[in-house]
Amino acid sequence: MLIAANKAVAIEYTLTDDDGDVVDSSAGGPALVYLHGAGNIVQGLEAALEGKEAGAELAVVVEPEDGYGEFIPELVSTLSRDMFEGIDDLEVGMQLQAEDPDGDVQIITVREVDGDDVTIDGNHPLAGQRLHFQIKVVEVRDATEDELAHGHVHGEDDHDH
């Protein structure tokens, strides 16, 4: 069976950056299972997997525009520490949820803490980076009606959210 829209796909992967440093990997853990065509993985990787079948192994390079987007400097700002009410120990690398002006939840990362100044970044941590994937397709199957309705693959207990 070939990978196409509405197929449940399991892949083993290792993601590295331009320097060859491992950013993420499924090694030693379960395969990543996703619903193809539902936007569950980055666009560039999904496109490269289209038409592949179980057993396929491939190297995929995804440019920023097809991954987590370009780095947007305007999403970096410095705020006063008192804007982080209830968070006593702000640390570099900490990720927090914030609400944007439209009421949508956004993940922000603390980039710097300098006295009462806190620099935050609303970019995805991998924004602006070229992504290098080593992929092995483990399984391709038809998605269930529930998986299609929910837009993602369910776990072993049939509803892993």
- Comparing 7-16, 68-77, 96-105, which segment has the lowest mean pLDDT? 96-105
Annotated domain spans of the chain: 7-68+128-150, 73-121
Could you read off the pLDDT of 114-128 as tens digits, one per residue? Answer: 999 999 999 999 999
pLDDT, residue 31, reads: 96
| Whether the Cβ atoms of residue 129 and residue 21 lie closer than 8 Å to each other | no
pLDDT, residue 156, reads: 63
Reply yes or no on whether the pLDDT at 161 is more than 70. no
| Domain 7-68+128-150: assigned CATH number | 3.10.50.40
Q: Identify the burial level of 154 via C-beta atoms within 10 angstroms of its C-beta, where 0-12 means exposed, 13-18 middle and 19 or more buried.
A: middle
Instruction: Give the predicted TM-score (pTM) of the model.
Output: 0.83
Could you read off the pLDDT of 56-95 as tens digits, one per residue? Answer: 999 999 999 999 999 999 999 999 999 988 888 899 999 9
CATH class of 73-121: mainly beta
